[in-house]
Structure 1
Amino acid sequence: MSPLSTSQVPKLRRGFRLQWEPAQSCHVLLYPEGMIKLNDSAGEILKQVNGAHSVAEIIDTLSSRFPDVPGIDEDILAFMEVANAQFWIELH
């Protein structure tokens, strides 16, 4: 797998859908075989994944929304790498 570039544009893989699940009180990632319960950070990141915004744009958006979180850019990059490795997202 090639390294992640901040110029890449992530989108959810076909068959995956992000939604708020009131019963779980969190965002979940739904796919045909099941559901992934997401923590707050993962939910905020995936809410930005729409196939139009680059990783750099997502980092900028979340950095401005959460200015007091140190190392947010590294956290977002690490999550994107995991999400890509788990086949939750595609990078273009």
Structure 2
Amino acid sequence: MQIEAMSCGKPVISTDIPGSGVSWVNKDEVSGLIVDVEDADQLALAIEEICEDEKLNQKFQQGSKERYETMFTRQSMVDRCVRLYRQLLMS
């Protein structure tokens, strides 16, 4: 759901689940906030912070949309795969 939210330019709050890639999708302080998995207080504070700080909310909205467009659109993924294949072929 992170990627879908980012495609709409929504700030993301995610938990840092080790080995899951979740915290890689949502870049902390760029597209939203990352909180510890078992820290409900930290999650509540992150929600409050984004809801109450309009400037921060707008920063994360912009960062979220930009990260989606550069990392997760079909075209950006195809471009990265093509670059990777070319690098492998040239090795």
Normalising by structure 2, we get a TM-score of 0.31
Q: Which has the higher contact order (CA 8 A, sep 6+)?
A: 1
* Structure whose residues are more often helix by fraction: 2
**What's the TM-score, normalizing by structure 1?**
0.31
Structure holding more strand per residue: 1
